Structure 1
Amino acid sequence: MGETRQRDAIDRILDEWAVQRPDLDVSALAVIGRLSRYAALVQARLDAVFAEHGLQSWEFDVLSALRRAGAPYELTPGELDRALLITSGTTTHRVQRLEARGFVTRRRDDDDRRIVRVRLTETGRAAHEATHDAHAANETRILAGLSPDERDALLGGLQALGRVLGDAAEGGA
């Protein structure tokens, strides 16, 4: 016989709905509820490491997007929007806060003064570098309890869900 799976909070919720609304198919909650719950649990673990380094997760995300852009570690606000999957209003607010901390600068493009460029400062790069190794190790720890087969199965399932939801890389099909 197979392993007996430990019941969790979502199992309890499903049981309660089975009693209260036996006519309603809530089977998708077994997946969607866990995705939502586990995303919050993962985020809490990520946030703890960022806090140890004096950053919030959104700050690390912006610094990472600029760092990934390569030298001179610079993007336009629109490029940041796309890199971070956020709205322009959110990007403006975040850039202002990071600029106040000395992590980024804003400047007008030399060729087209209408374009603003956001650049990672040395201070911002140092903050990112000091955090990145700890963040990568933390992500590895979070997944350490999964076997390679479980990790591959989880990745495959998440990629399939992304496909169904229409998630594709920019410019992808």
Structure 2
Amino acid sequence: MQNKEKIQQRNHQEHQKDGISDERKFDKVDTILAQWQRERPDLDSAPMGIIGRLGRLAHYFEAGVSEGLEQFGLTRWSFDVLAALRRAGAPYSLSPNALLQSLMITSGTMTNRIDHLERAALVVRENNPDDRRSVLITLTPAGLEVIEQAVSAHVANEHRLLASLKENEREQLAGLLRQLLLEFES
């Protein structure tokens, strides 16, 4: 919380320097936009503000999520692999290719991640009973226990990270972000 107060104080000082009044709260992006408006009034910098805020929020959210997962000895990527296996349902197994599809990473990256999780005894490679030429990646009992605890704490942490928004604001934001994401993913 102390870090958040320092950021707000620094932003306040910079806003005053750039001539931004204190009638409402301003963030670092407002300072940048005000500077561009002063230097290049011909530019419509509104998209810069949206994308800049999304980028800064992604940084803060990533840090908050990573911090929340540390208590379980997990990184973001290890959580993602374990969560994909958990979402698959019992027996909590997926082929390496299915994991690749769900996580959108390269096969080399996936191999390294599985190797790491296997050394930590959170997953095992097992022969696929339906295709003897392939393997399945399966949560171990220890992996299942870790992900069960971690996912509950993770969701609670995400609620905390979004606590400044009312429920209807979260729903509105989710809808707008979905609309934008669909433009890129369709």
Distance 1:117 1:22 in 2: 58
Letter in 2 for 1:165: F
More helix by share: 2
Q: Counterpart in 1 of 2:80? A: 61
Give the aligned partner of residue 104 of structure 2.
Answer: 85
Paired residue secondary structure (2:136): strand
The secondary structure found in structure 2 opposite 1:116 is: strand
1:112 and 2:112 correspond:
no
| Residues 31-54 of structure 1: per-residue CA shift (max 9 Å, x gap) | 111111101111111111101121
Taking structure 1 as the reference length, the TM-score comes to 0.87
Residues 110-167 of structure 1, C-alpha deviations (whole Å, 9 max, x = no match): 3323222111111111111221221111111112221122112111111111122235
Q: 2:66 aligns with which of 44, 47, 55?
A: 47
- Quick one: which amino acid aligns to residue 61 of structure 2? V
**Alignment equivalent of 1:15, drawn from 18, 34, 45:** 34
Aligned partner letter, 1:124: G
Q: Match for residue 131 of structure 1? A: 150
Secondary structure of the residue that 2:133 maps to in structure 1? coil
Distance 1:166 1:5, change over 3 A: farther
Q: What percentage of residue pairs aligned between the two structures are identical? A: 45
- CA distance in 1: counterparts of 2:182 and 2:128, whole angstroms: 37
- Structure 2, gaps ≥5 residues long: 1-22
Match for 2:122: what amino acid? Answer: F
The higher radius of gyration belongs to 2
Aligned to 2:114: 95
Task: State the alpha-carbon separation in 1 of the partners of residues 103 and 166 from structure 2.
Answer: 30
Return the structure number with greater relative CO, CA threshold 8 A, min gap 6: 1
Count the aligned residue pairs: 164
Q: Distance in 1 between matches of 2:147 and 2:182?
A: 31
What is the CA RMSD across the aligned residues, in angstroms?
Answer: 1.6
TM (norm. structure 2) is 0.81
Q: Match of 1:166?
A: 185
